Structure 1
Amino acid sequence: MSKPSEELAQLRAQGLERVLHPLESPAGVRVIRNGKTLWNFASNDYLGLASHPAIAESFIEGIKKFGAGSTASRLICGTLAPHLQLEASLAEAKQSQAALTFSSGFATALGIIPAAVGKNDFVLLDKLSHACLIDAAKLSGATIRVFPHNDLAKLKSLLASIRAKSADAQILVATESVFSMDGTICPLSNLLDVVEAFDAMLLLDEAHGFGVLGPSGMGLAEQENVAHRITFQMGTLSKAAGLSGAYVCASQDWIQLLINKARPFIYSTAPPAAIAHATLASLQIIRSQQGNAHRNKLRQNIASLTGSDSQIPIIPHILGSNEAALIAADTLNDAGFLVPAIRYPTVPRNTARLRISLSAAHPHEAIASMRAALMP
C-alpha cells in the first residue's frame, strides 16, 4: 500500500490534486478569494436565496426559539417541531404521502438505497449518476448494472434480462432529474414507462431540479406531472433552497421503514431545528410568485449567456485534458471570474471541463462580461 505522500505526488503529476481555496467574503455572486474580487459562476445558489434577508431572519429566529443544536439523533430527543413541519410541507409540495430529512444529499442516498435493496436485489444506475448514488448502491450489497446515459433501450434490455432470471427480486433504478456536471435532463416520463413495465422502483435525485423546474419549483417530477409514479423523490436543500440538508419523499410505509433502517438517519445527530425553520421560509418563497420571479430571472440569465431557451443553469465547457481545464479556469480567474475546473473522478477521464453555473442573482453586467470572456 502506497504512502499518502506517494499518492499525493501521483495526483499532482496527473493534474488531479484538489486543494481548498477559502473565500474571504460571503459566498454570493461577487466574492473575494486570495484578495481578488471575482464574479462567482461556481456556486449552486440558483435562485440567489442563500443571501435572502427573509431566510436569514428566519434562521436567526429559529436559533432564538430552538437553540443552535439539536443535541441528539432524531430517534432519541433530536426531533423538534420544525423538523416535522418541514417534512410535512415537503411531502405536500412534492405530492407525496410523507418525507424525511437528512443532513446532506450524500447521507440521503446512503440511507435510502441500502434500506430498499440488499444482496439478492439489483440497482440500475445511469452512467453519469452522482457519486452518492454509486456509493450507496455499492454499500447495499445489491448487484449493480450501469446503463449508458439516458439510454432507455439499454435500460429496458437490462430490466428484461434481470426479470427473466429473478422474478421476485427488488429492482431499483436510480437516476437524476438534472445531471450536475452535464446539465442534461433525464427523459422522466418515458423512463417511468420502462421502469413500471418491469415492476421496478425509481429513485429520482432532484438535487439540481428542485427550485429550478416545475410550475412551483418542485422539480422535473412536478413539471411532467409524474410525482405519484416515483417511489423515492430525493433532493437537496443546499442548492436552490440556499441552506443545507436534504430530503426524501415517498409513501408513508417507505418513510417509516427508512426511520427504522436508514443508518445515516438513525446514527447521526439531527440537523439543527433552526435550519429546518429557515428552510420552511425558503420553501414558501420557492413556491410563491416571488419564486416564479426568481426562476424567470434565472432563465433570462441563461438565455443571455447561451442564446438558448434552456431552463438548466449548468453550462459545461468540455476541454478534455486536466491541464486544459486548469489553464482555462486560471485564465478566467485572472479575468475576474470564479469558474471551477472539473476533473476525474467527478467526470469521466478525458472529459475535464469548466462548469459554469448561473444564478438569478447574477446582474446583467456579470452575464455580459462572462459571455465576452467565453468568446474565442
Structure 2
Amino acid sequence: MADKFAWITEEMNALEGQGLRTTIRTIGSACGPWMVVDGKRVLNFCTNNYLGLANHPRLKQAAQEAVEQWGVGPAAVRSIAGTLELHRQLEQRLAAFKGVEDALYVQSGFCANQAAIPPMVGKGDVIFTDRLNHASIIDGCRLSSAKILVYEHCDLADCERVITENIGQYRRALLITDGVFSMDGDMAPLDQLFELCERHGIITMVDDAHGEGVLGHGGRGIVDHFQLNGKFDLEIGTLSKAFGVMGGVIAGKKVVIDWIRQKARPFLFSSAVTAADTAACLAAVDLLEESTALVQKLWDNTRYFKEGMRQAGFDIGASVTPITPVMLGEATVAQEFSRRLFAAEPGIFAMPIGFPTVPQGKARIRVMISAAHTQDDLETGLKTFTSIGRELGVIG
C-alpha cells in the first residue's frame, strides 16, 4: 500500500533544502534578557518582551493572588458564565488607558482580529488592507466573506487609488492596517490613512500589537503617537508583548464594541481568559500608568543597539521601532547566522525569519530589544553579531 503521507516527507525535505524548515527550540526558564534555551544559557534577542514584564514580580504576585481567589479557570465562555469581575475591570482600565469608550478582552491578539473583522463587514462589503498586514488580519478578512482589496505597503497614493476605483461598488468599507509591522519595524502613516478614510466614509481599524507599551505617551500606542485618540473606530491590541502576559483587546467606540460582543465568534464560543492572566494584565496597566521609565529605557536601548549595528555595517532596513531586522537575503544564510549566534560563547538566541513570513530573498534575523537588557548585554550582542557577520561575509 502506498504511503498516503509521502507528500509530507517530500515537502519537508524541500523546506529543508531551501533553508525554510522551522526549528522549534525549547525554553527552560522564565522569559528575560537571559534565558535557558535547549539547555543552554543564552542572551535573549528573540522574544516580544519589550518592557521586561513577562517575569516581573508584581505581575507574578497579582497572578498568584488571583488563583487563590478565583481558581485556575472560569470554566465557561464569557457570554454564558465566564465573565469575571476582573475581566470587566481590565476592559475598563484598557479603555481609559487608550482614551476610548470601551474595550473587549479576548483570548489573544490573533483571536482579536478574527473576532473584530467579520461582525463589521460581510458579503457585499469591501476591505482595504495593507499588503504586509499580519496573518491574523488576513485570516480575519477571509472569514468575513467581504471583498479583499490590497494596497501596496504603507503607500498612501496606492491606497487612495484602490479606494477611489472601488468605493462606490460596495455596501460598507473597512480599512485595516498594522500600526507597527512586525517583520520590518516600520509604522503605518496612520494620520494620513485616517484623513483618507474620513473623506470616503470608511470604517477604520488598526492592529497595534507592536505599538502598545512602545509608542505614544507611556506606551499608549500608535493612535496616541499620532494624537488620534478616540478617532479610530477599532484598535486591536495584544497583552502578550509589551504587557508581558496573554490575551487580546478590541477597543473603540461603545456602539461598535457592544456589537462585537454580540457577534464575535472567538468571544462567544471559546472559554474565557483565566483570572491569573487577567490580574497580571491589570498589574501591567498599573505599572505603565505609574511611570514612563520602562518605555524610556526601551527606547534608549533601541537607539544604542541600532546605532552600533549601523556602524558595524549591517543593513537594518526601514525600522523606526525597537524591532531590528538584520537583513541577510537568503534563508540559508539567515539560518546559518542564527545557528552560529546560538553556538557562540555566550550564545545569542535570535531566530531566522524566512519565506513565507517575509518575501523570498528578504530573509533576516529579527532582533527584539527589551527594556530589560543592560548596556553590557547590548555590547555582547553587538560584538557577537559583528564577529559572525564578518565570518559569513555579510559585512566587511
TM-score, normalised to structure 1, is: 0.96
2:325 paired with 1:321: no
* C-alpha distance in structure 1 between counterparts of 2:93 and 2:41, whole Å: 39
Tell me the equivalent position of 2:341. 332
Tell me the equivalent position of 1:286. 288
**Residues 153-192 of structure 1 correspond to what in structure 2 (within 5 A)?**
153-166=157-170, 169-192=171-194
Identical residues among aligned pairs (%): 35
Displacement of 1:175: 0.7
Tell me the equivalent position of 1:145. 149
* C-alpha distance in structure 2 between counterparts of 1:276 and 1:288, whole Å: 19
Which amino acid in 2 is paired with 1:330? R
| Equivalent of residue 359 in structure 1, options 353, 370, 373 | 370
The answer as to whether partners of 1:302 and 1:311 remain within 8 angstroms in 2 is: no
* C-alpha distance in structure 1 between counterparts of 2:168 and 2:179, whole Å: 28
SS at match of 1:51: coil
Which amino acid in 1 is paired with 2:97? A
Tell me the equivalent position of 2:51. 47
Displacement of 1:184: 0.2
Tell me the equivalent position of 2:90. 86
Tell me the equivalent position of 2:307. 307
* C-alpha distance in structure 2 between counterparts of 1:128 and 1:86, whole Å: 30
Tell me the equivalent position of 2:73. 69
SS at match of 1:284: helix
The answer as to whether partners of 1:321 and 1:351 remain within 8 angstroms in 2 is: yes
Tell me the equivalent position of 1:114. 118
* C-alpha distance in structure 2 between counterparts of 1:190 and 1:339, whole Å: 34
* C-alpha distance in structure 1 between counterparts of 2:361 and 2:217, whole Å: 37
Displacement of 1:194: 0.8
The answer as to whether partners of 1:212 and 1:311 remain within 8 angstroms in 2 is: no
Specify every segment of 5 or more residues in structure 1 that has no aligned partner in the other structure, as ranges. Answer: none
Runs of 4+ in 1 over 6 A off after TM superposition: none
* C-alpha distance in structure 1 between counterparts of 2:305 and 2:262, whole Å: 47
Tell me the equivalent position of 1:223. 225
* C-alpha distance in structure 1 between counterparts of 2:172 and 2:383, whole Å: 51
TM-score, normalised to structure 2, is: 0.91
The answer as to whether partners of 2:230 and 2:253 remain within 8 angstroms in 1 is: no
Displacement of 1:311: 6.2
* C-alpha distance in structure 2 between counterparts of 1:183 and 1:235, whole Å: 16
The answer as to whether partners of 2:121 and 2:172 remain within 8 angstroms in 1 is: yes
* C-alpha distance in structure 2 between counterparts of 1:151 and 1:122, whole Å: 19
* C-alpha distance in structure 2 between counterparts of 1:17 and 1:374, whole Å: 23
2:140 paired with 1:136: yes
Specify every segment of 5 or more residues in structure 2 that has no aligned partner in the other structure, as ranges. Answer: 309-318, 387-394
* C-alpha distance in structure 2 between counterparts of 1:111 and 1:60, whole Å: 29
Displacement of 1:9: 2.4
Q: Deviations over 1:289-336 (max 9, x none)?
A: 1xx11111111111211129x861100011111101101111111221
Instruction: Report how many residues are paired.
Output: 372
* C-alpha distance in structure 2 between counterparts of 1:177 and 1:261, whole Å: 25
The answer as to whether partners of 1:126 and 1:174 remain within 8 angstroms in 2 is: yes
Displacement of 1:43: 0.5
Tell me the equivalent position of 1:349. 360
